[in-house]
Amino acid sequence: MTTTIRTRITELLGVRYPIVQGGMMWVGLAELAAAVSNAGAFGILTALTQPSPQALRDEIGRCRSLTDQPFGVNLTMLPSINPPPYEEYLDVILSSKVAAIETAGKVPPEFFAKAKAAGVPIIHKCVSVRHAISAERMGADAISIDGFECAGHPGEDDVGGLVLIPAAARRLSTPVIASGGIADGRGMAGALALGAEGVNMGTRFCATQEAPIHHNIKQALVSATERDTRLIFRTLHNTARVLKNAISVEVVETEKRGCEFEDIRHLVAGQRGRAALQAGDPDGGIVAAGQVVGLIDDVPTCGELIQRMVNECRSRLGAAQGYFA
């Protein structure tokens, strides 16, 4: 029997399952996004992985050649001395008529207005309820709320998903997508029970057959436990959760002694991390990873992973019903 899960997220995105593959630097390429979308979930390309707006337009075209299902594009805006041409990337996303844009960081209100005028739904990623409320006021159609367990930047409040998800769901009228710490149907069932209407996964999708990273990196994720991540940039008030490896350990130790960003720039450079992902050197650079690595035991196809999640989610929610006499 074919299962379909209906929530406001599936209706917004036009998908069968409320599972979103989050935008990931160097990983959100067409082959992964298309595989996720073909499996009934929502794949996302990462805009800034592409070196130019035209390259992004080409990647969107490549994704369309691999799937006829809905997919989106992530545009993350972070403080930078030499920022990329964000608005040009945005214009490509909107003119390409993708199914949704996933935004993160400090997005100008006029960008939200542009997306609304173009009729492209906005999923905004937040790490706190106060930021989620602001994004909703600016016009976000859904909020992806990142708990402290997540990979990448969890913010500075250190609030885990078990509290953050229901806290957001009860304050927002827009649907909530739970992000951080989710790798299987159990986590998905828990998120839905907490008030979310969908889930976002990044680290788990890195450990799939279609993820465009080296097999050695995938195996490092499989081998890691829930204790094998490190928080870097903590002393710089720009916390990021990454996989424990020689580089992240050195960064943490350097921060403990006291440092400026320039002292660790050579260790955390994005191109160094990209090279590690491609060459398969788990100690070659920073590798973003959430605590969810402790729940990853294999490297399935995206289709296998998503179907397994849906079946397990239904099973766990059904089992929970049985607890009531």
Consecutive H or E run containing 30 = helix 30-38
Rounded to the nearest 5 percent, the helix, strand and coil shares of the chain are 45, 15, 40
Given a cut of 70, whether residue 1 has pLDDT beyond it is no
- Cross-strand bridge partners of residue 312: none
Round to whole Å and give the CA distance between 165 and 178. 6
Q: How far is CA 80 from CA 83, 189, 274, in A?
A: 5, 38, 19
Q: Convert the pLDDT of each residue in 3-36 to its tens digit.
A: 899 999 999 999 999 999 999 999 999 999 999 9
Distance CA 39, CA 69 (A): 9
Q: At what angle do helices 129-138 and 161-171 cross, to 10 degrees?
A: 30
Mean predicted lDDT score pLDDT of the chain = 97
Label residue 78 by pLDDT band (50, 70, 90). Answer: confident
Structural domain boundaries in the chain: 8-210+301-321, 215-291
Which token pair is 30?
Answer: 């067409």
Give the DSSP per-residue string, 110-162.
HHHHHHHHHT--EEEEESSHHHHHHHHHHT-SEEEEE-TTSSB---SS---HH
**How many whole angstroms separate alpha carbon 287 and alpha carbon 277?**
8
Domain 8-210+301-321 has CATH 3.40.47.10: no
Least Cα distance to 201 among 309, 93, 127 occurs for: 309
Q: Which pLDDT score is estimated for 41?
A: 98
Going by C-alpha positions, the residue among 208, 203, 215 that lies closest to residue 307 is 208
Cβ atoms within 10 Å of 308's Cβ, excluding its own: 14
209-215: average pLDDT: 98
3-state secondary structure of 243: strand
Which tens digit of pLDDT belongs to each residue from 30-45? 999 999 999 999 999 9
Q: Give kind and range of the element (H or E) at residue 146.
A: strand 142-146
pLDDT at 80 (0 to 100): 78
Cβ neighbours of residue 12 closer than 8 Å, sequence gap 6 or more: 100, 121, 141, 142, 175
The pLDDT of residue 79: 77
Query: Does the pLDDT of residue 323 top 90, yes or no?
Result: yes
**What are the angstrom distances between the C-alpha of 27 and each of 74, 117, 203, 283, 287?**
12, 29, 10, 18, 11
Quote the percentage of the chain above a pLDDT of 90: 97
Closest CA to 32 of 16, 21, 17, 19: 21
Torsion of CA 255, 273, 28, 221, to 10 degrees: -80
- What is the helix (H) or strand (E) element at residue 103, kind and residue range? strand 100-105
Longest dimension (CA), the chain: 61
Sequence-separated (6 or more) residues with CB below 8 Å from residue 57: 92, 96
Residue type present at position 305: L
Partner residues linked to 232 by β-bridges? 240
